[in-house]
Amino acid sequence: MNFAVRKRRAPLIIIVSLVDILIILLIFFVVSTSFKKDQPEVKINLPESKTAKKLPAELEHVIVSIDQNDEIKLDGRGMGVDELEGAVRDLPEARKSTLALQADKKASFGTIIKVMDALKLAGVRNLPAFTSEGK
């Protein structure tokens, strides 16, 4: 009895379906990831507050900042009080509702009041202010 000996083939791993699954997972994670919008860097020493509440992190705030030299910036763009009112007035209602004030503790009180007044004239109803945690 002479049996024919077959050459044994090395087992193959078919990875085509694995690659498909990995691509689908990659697409899912890229789409479902929320990318944090970096705020423009403005050197500001925030005043302290012991009763401050944290703003919801999921909202992207439009920041009106006043530095220690009383320079006003809207999302990093420098402007005067009159320009600020026009720029905020041109914002859609949804963006106006996410407006927040970030003033340096050395900024003059008069400038802060002028900015708040301009924002109120532009239609902003609620204006949270950024502070640092009190000790």
Give the predicted TM-score (pTM) of the model: 0.58
Domain presence at residue 110? yes
From first to last of the 135 residues of the chain, give the pLDDT tens digit: 677 777 888 777 777 788 889 999 999 988 888 666 555 556 666 677 666 667 666 567 788 888 888 899 888 888 888 888 888 888 887 777 778 888 888 888 899 889 989 888 888 888 877 777 665
Beta strands 72-74 and 132-133 are: unpaired
Residue among 103, 119, 3, 90 nearest 44 (CA): 103
**C-alpha to C-alpha distance for 133 and 135, rounded to whole angstroms:** 7
Q: How many domains does the chain have?
A: 1
Domain presence at residue 54? no
Q: Do the Cβ atoms of 95 and 62 come closer than 8 Å?
A: yes
* Torsional sign, CA 111, 112, 113, 115: positive
Domain presence at residue 81? yes
Reading phi first (left if > 0) and then psi (alpha if -120 to 50, else beta), residue 52 is in: beta
Domain presence at residue 120? yes
Domain presence at residue 27? no
Task: Look up the domain containing 123 and give its range.
Answer: 59-133
CATH number for 116: 3.30.420.270
